[in-house]
Amino acid sequence: MITIAPTGGLANRMRVIDSAIELNKKLNSKLIIKWHLNKELNCRFENLFIKPHAINQISNIKENIIITFIRKFINKFLPFLYRLKYDIIINQKKIDTFSKECLDNIFSNTQKHIFITTYSRFFPSDNTYKEFHPVNVLKTRIINFNNKKKPIIGLHIRRTDHIKSINKSPTEGFIEIIKQKLKENKKTKFFLSTDSKEEEILLLNIFPENIVVNKKRSLNRNKPEAIEDALVDLYCLSKCEKLYGSYWSSFTQTAADIGKIDFKVVVK
């Protein structure tokens, strides 16, 4: 049996579950997902995706500040406490430090109950995110937007609390790319996905005829509608012909992987 507790935001969790589904194909075991509702992502799984057939059970676990702190403390410093319930425990530290051969050896034992908590991909996938299907209401929004707007270049500008993206992928770099593309074709359209209202307003003011966006109900990760809007953005980015994204952003990488499109990280 495999129990997965993905951490981080939407894209982080998607790649963890994608890894788990691929691992479970190898082990042919039971797959359980513990989906924590917290300030990183406060939206139930079934509000976003149709449950993949490969997953046997998904538990939505509501957290508060104290519970989140305790969980992170145990994951990092006291993982042996999980031994009371699980045979093998793999946390982020082990994912970061263990070699592929070591992980493969652990995963070869199909008789054990394995518990994995991470924000990283830990097992390769041949059909990346093939098992993920947005729920109908979000799928309709994705289809309608792409049929109407048809942007050809995607831009993902990660801001808010992501210091690495802010420092390494400044807005000026994206503006330079837009100007360069408009010199080649002044009618070029760009789909912009960002977690910053200020960035959205800035680019819409500079390039009013070329930037298109999805209307957001919220940018607060603690609100389910914000996560739903982010999922719509993610799949709209994946439909673009090319993608320019932010440094150290799993959202950029995931959009590119879903659409199997070329992407470039904007770095200055």
Return mean pLDDT, the chain.
92
Lowest average pLDDT, out of 2-11, 71-80, 151-160, goes to: 71-80
Joined tokens for residue 143: 């289809």
- Residues 112-163 pLDDT 10s: 899 999 999 999 988 899 999 999 999 999 999 887 767 789 999 999 877 8
pLDDT at 71: 86
pLDDT over 90 for what percent of the chain? 71
pTM of the model: 0.93
Joined tokens for residue 172: 């000026």
Q: What is the DSSP string of 179-235?
A: HHHHHH-TT--EEEEES-HHHHHHHHHHSTTTEE-PPPS---TTSHHHHHHHHHHHH
- Which 3 state secondary structure label does DSSP give 3? strand
- Residues 18-54 pLDDT 10s: 999 999 988 889 999 999 999 999 999 999 999 999 9
How confident is residue 80, by pLDDT bands cut at 50, 70 and 90? confident
Cα–Cα distance measured from residue 83 to residue 63, given in angstroms and rounded to the nearest whole number: 22
pLDDT at 163: 85
Q: Which residue has the higher pLDDT, 127 or 182?
A: 182
pLDDT at 177: 97
Cα–Cα distance measured from residue 251 to residue 93, given in angstroms and rounded to the nearest whole number: 22
pLDDT at 164: 85
- Which 3 state secondary structure label does DSSP give 40? coil
Q: Which residue has the higher pLDDT, 92 or 78?
A: 92
